[in-house]
Structure 1
Amino acid sequence: MPAHVTAVRGPLIWFRDDPFLVGRDDAFVYESDGLLICEGGVITAAGDYGALRERLPRGTTVDHYPDHVITAGFIDSHIHYVQTGIIAAFGSQLIDWLNHYTFVEEQRFSDADYARRIASFFCDELLRNGTTTALTFCAVYPQSVDALFEESSRRGMRMAAGKVLMDRNAPRRPARHRSVGLRGLQGAAGTLARQGPQPLRHHAPLRPDEHAGAAGGGRHVVARAPRSAGAHARLREHRRGLLGTVPLP
């Protein structure tokens, strides 16, 4: 059976290259009367309406949005899905906010059902606001990662996400020894590999904000992690501490 064809017409913009490398004129494409054709939910053509309309199968409905702008999905380069429930929670200092709200909320993600419910809401909210790709922190619990990938995969989204590695200066329950965090990372990477080709990347976010020693420990964990895994490290953000980055190999 042929794939279902959908079409959207209207002002169309997209980037075909990096504007910081090739310049705006070579990177940016604008069609004042554009056409976007999808087959089975996958984009197969984009360009001038007049040039592409003959490619539409007979009877295809074209949704026309002349007063809108059609563009690729947005990318959120830093977000915490496990903090969805505490957005706008007050905190005078980072460490106070972590202790009073963040660590308390993130411990709830040890419950797979709760993680799945929040992941579902989180993905729906991203899509509702035009975001189709995100780099997001999960919690220390593997089930928080599994829930996010299950829900994002179901919606055809792209996610870079993974377990947080955190082993000190945090409540005892969410804190994990580095070896435990590494085993979880290896298991998650293996699970992802068994899923076959997916528009997903798995990474291990490090949270060394609260103690300089955790930065060194996180570095060794990343050095021994599977080659298929990326890493996302945080700057030290607490104003009463020293600023610094995590040295990665």
Structure 2
Amino acid sequence: MRRRIIVITAVHAPSAHFLPDAYKSLRAQELPEGWEWHWLIQEDGRSEDVAPYVPDDPRVTFTQGRPGGPGTARTLALAVADGEYVKVLDADDQLTPGALARDLAALEGDPTIGWATSRVLDLLPDGSTAGFPGDPDEGPMERGTVLDHWAANDYRAPVHPATLFARRHLVLALGGWMALPASEDTGLLLALASVSRGWFSSEVGLLYRKWPGQATGQATHTDPAERTARMAVVEARARALSYVRWDYPVTD
């Protein structure tokens, strides 16, 4: 029986037309013998606007649900996630060649590592790309280091949550993505990093599309009061996990 990586994509109508580009990047992934991917596309809501962009591929499952934001959509998708690992791929982003194989190698090679992330390039409207300084060195990231960096740098994580690759049972144990209007992926990243070691790949694993309609580009995303509230609950969850010292892997 082949083993599976579950790729989860939350999508709503404005971003649906980017799905073919995401699919093309997924089809280009090469995995080790015995492995395959299964793409779960979860619409945040129920409309007739997304389905036309969903590929006709037996490796793709499309579901819909009540609108609640991308965190809710991704967590709902876990209901039909049937693989050992979960990979995030936003509808408007693209994987780079080899991204899945590198993530898989990191976690298969070290059972103490619960999650992986990678370097990101912004994909600009004109098709060019842009990086940014400050990435950590390639290799393991010890438990608690992501939270420490995030708290000391104006709530900016040292790695990008849009590249998360994690053990499915660990994501489930943490309750999936946070029930927040934004920063739900940062919340999961910090929770994972508070209970387990991670891995950072210095090779580019994701093209992060910048476009006018993206949620992080809207004024509401940077509203000071809401941002303060989001960051407070993200930090509280991560510190609570550190306080109770629930560690992965669990040992007797």
- Give the alignment's TM-score, normalised by structure 2: 0.24
Relative contact order, higher structure (CA 8 A, sep 6+): 2
- Normalised TM-score (structure 1): 0.25
